[in-house]
Each structure stands twice: as C-alpha cells, then as structure tokens.
Amino acid sequence: MPGSSSKSGGRGPSSSPLPHAMVPPSRPLRPSRYAPVSAAIFFLVGSTTLFFCFTCPWLSERFSVTVPIYNGVIFLFVLANFCMATFMDPGIFPRAEEDEDKEDDFRAPLYKTVEIKGIQVRMKWCSTCRFYRPPRCSHCSVCDNCVENPGQ
C-alpha cells in the first residue's frame, strides 16, 4: 500500500497506530460448567413454585392443609440432597505422578496385602491410576478416577 511503512502491507496489528486499539481474537462460545446445575435448579425451583402457586391452594381447600406442608418438606429434602450431590467432594483419589512409578505398572502384582491397624487388607492395583486402591475404593468409568465408596 502506498504511504504505509509497515512490512505487512497494512494488515495485522503492526498497522494500527495505537497498541491498545488491537481487537482480541474472538473466542468460540463455550458453555459454562455450571450451566447444567443452574438449569436443573431453575427447573426444580420453578416447577415447585408453580405447584405451590396454582395446585396447592386447591389441594389445601379440597383435602387438607397438611398436603402443602408435606410437599414443602419433601421439596426441601429434595433440594438439600440435590445440593449435596452437586457440591460435595466425591472422594477422588489423586493419580500417581508420571515419574513416580513408570516401571511398576508392568511389574506390579495385581493384589498387595498390607496390615492396617492389625487387620490384613488386600489392595488391588489400578493400572489406570497407577497405584494400589485402598479399601472401599473403585475405579469409576464415568469420571475415569478412583473414587471412595462410602456405602460399602
């Protein structure tokens, strides 16, 4: 381009006279990881609000005042369990470092017996996470981590 002293021919960031006038590259729209949780809470609270506004007055007149109270207690129970399932730590065990046991993956025995508080415990080798899983722990195929199973 005549009159342009830039080496790029007037294109690119060097042609702008002001460095702060550069336009950042556009980022593709990525959904937030909180979007599903927000949508679930919105639908849960929204449908319950509609139920309490439109259906509960009729149920309390037709049957008993205890129906809305019972439904309110059940709603609080459901909301508390939803929040606990969403925001509590699932008990993920961290994976072994890359340089920690590179060779042990192929030579490690499948089971290892250790003594914990005077009790012999058999621990299984997890080839994905590269460590012996502690008791009440299993490998989750969904999150691809070893997680603690508190119900066992």
Q: How far apart are CA 114 and CA 121, in angstroms?
A: 5
**Those residues with Cβ within 8 angstroms of residue 20's Cβ, 6 or more apart along the chain or in another chain:** none
Judge whether 43 lies within some domain: yes
Helix (H, G, I), strand (E, B) or coil at 121: strand
Q: How many domains does the chain have?
A: 2
Judge whether 25 lies within some domain: no
How would residue 8 be classed by pLDDT, with cut points 50, 70 and 90? very low
* pLDDT tens digits, one per residue of 55-80: 999 999 999 999 999 999 999 999 99
CA separation, residue 149 to residues 26, 92, 130, 152 (Å): 43, 10, 19, 6
* pLDDT tens digits, one per residue of 131-151: 888 888 888 887 788 888 765
Structural contact between residues 146 and 126, judged by C-beta atoms closer than 8 angstroms: yes
Judge whether 126 lies within some domain: yes
Q: How far apart are CA 20 and CA 29, in angstroms?
A: 24
Q: Which domain holds residue 70?
A: 35-87
* The two structure tokens encoding residue 8: 């790029």
Judge whether 92 lies within some domain: no
Same domain as 82, residue 116 = no
